[in-house]
Structure 1
């Protein structure tokens, strides 16, 4: 995929050995959970409040523009630091779908998804848990900005089964300014004797070894990245073929001339919109999609 590098990037790793002291409000909020087994906590369970780490949530969701800017620096910093540390990771789920379309984050996304192997996850827990990372981006006009991120490894990552479902996320890369994050999940062969070569996370996503490896070198949001070898099979199995052709979603339209998803002005209706709880993004299958995967394969 041919993408223009818009930024010159550099990062500095600053290890620490203790978790940040959460604000008083967060301590009181955590106290409500009592003996809750969940490690990562969010201030709410919908799209407005379900994608912030409670320790760094200011009390109000960020704007559409700030969310996009935060996610952009989250993924650039994450991919850059992990590559500098020679830690293998690849983009997954909706983040991978964004890469398929134009090598960018879907503008309606609230967080990002990456994956690592379970052995890599163990190494991260032993060597980089609770480390802060300063990341500086230099813009084309010469201005620069440094942001700070926390790598937090869920201690429950050692259990490779779903359990009570409260700890399916194994680690997070968190922007300490507002609490937005990247979800990091580990993959392992949980049943190597009966299902060799089948890798799974704790949320029941399964992958074949030949679909994951060898990982493909590419570019995502202007920085080097890795994607699974059979990204096409993975995306269609997870989202259906319709996800690769649908040009209207979440109030955005795909503009082929610009190769961008553009936010559409809402159409005002007399009927108030129905409240929706947060659910994973899904799309309906289409028997005869208008185009296929060959469009992407031509540029790889």
Structure 2
């Protein structure tokens, strides 16, 4: 002990490090032997056993984040139905179809359709205007084109909402007229105003309900197609009105509306009707005098 006390400090530190026990490398744990393969399984783990084993190590999926929004696919059922797929049968409402109207009776039936529609909407104080081929017929002679199977008019989307909320949807309207073509006596016909429940949908979806409403002759199923226009993107495309069939118009093309006459009754037409017609049918539609139908 006295000898150690007489040694220098550096020597004592060296001796201390040499005399300290050296830590040994830890012995790895002994793993249990692998389990024996299942009997009758050909010496290997079956797929069912493996999936059951793995399932205990997989965490179940958690709920989606709060920012995630599900967008379910909309299944669109066609509201208005026609009796067949041909060009002719596609212009009758299946509910009231009783056979194809002969050509000689077809033109008068269309005339009464548009007269009854325009006079009824004017009586109700509802704005509507001629569109598409019906507007083209107005341009040429103020009458229905000889080859037309049906008629087209437009309203605003807000008008469709008003007609629905005011109780005019699926209402019947009587129209009295003098049968100048045959008997010369007063006749009465009944028409149905039917508004498509899909009219509130802004998107085209699968294209099954691009027609928002119809004015239907319940005696034969002939009809007027009614489509609603709205500003579909007022933030990024203000003043652009369109229907679900991608016909687009600027506000200044439509308003202020003009008052004219069609098939002998007062009718409303778009302000810039020439631009509207040229945009849809081309310049030739306003100058060509022969129809290549």
TM-score when scaled to structure 2?
Answer: 0.72
Larger RCO, structures 1/2 (Cα 8 Å, 6+ apart) = 1
Q: Alpha-carbon deviation of 1:139?
A: 5.2
Matched, 1:131 2:171: yes
Given that 2:190 and 2:217 are in contact with CA atoms closer than 8 Å, whether structure 1 keeps it comes out as: yes
Q: What do residues 205-249 of structure 1 show as CA deviations (whole Å, max 9, x unaligned)?
A: 000000000000000000001000000000000000011112221
Please name the residue that 1:203 is paired with.
245
2:150 matched residue in structure 1: 111
Gaps of 5+ in 2: 1-74
Structure (1 or 2) with the greater helix fraction: 2
After TM superposition, give the deviation of residue 138 of structure 1 in Å: 2.7
CA distance in structure 1 between the aligned counterparts of 2:213 and 2:222, rounded to whole angstroms: 13
Aligned to 1:265: none
What stretches of structure 1 move > 3 A for 4+ residues in a row?
A: 139-142
| Matching residue within 125, 128, 131 for 1:92 | 131
Q: Which residue of 1 aligns with 2:21?
A: none
Alignment of 1:74-223 (within 5 A): 74-126=113-165, 127-138=167-178, 143-223=185-265
| Structure 2 Cα separation of the partners of residues 205 and 142 of structure 1 | 41
Distance 1:36 1:202 in 2: 14
1:240 aligns with 2:282: yes
Q: Report deviation, 1:36.
A: 6.5
Distance 1:189 1:71 in 2: 31
Partner of residue 32, structure 1? none
More strand by share: 1
Q: CA RMSD in A?
A: 1.4
Counting only pairs closer than 5 Å after superposition, residues 256-271 of structure 1 correspond to structure 2 as none
2:61 corresponding residue in structure 1: none
1:45 shift after superposition: 2.2
Q: C-alpha distance in 2, partners of 1:45/1:230?
A: 35
Q: Which runs of 5+ in 1 are unaligned?
A: 1-34, 252-300
Would you say how many aligned residue pairs link Structure 1 and Structure 2? 216
User: 1:46 offset after TM fit, Å?
Assistant: 2.2
**Under a length normalisation based on structure 1, what TM-score does the superposition of the two structures give?**
0.70
Aligned partner of 1:38 among 66, 78, 87: 78
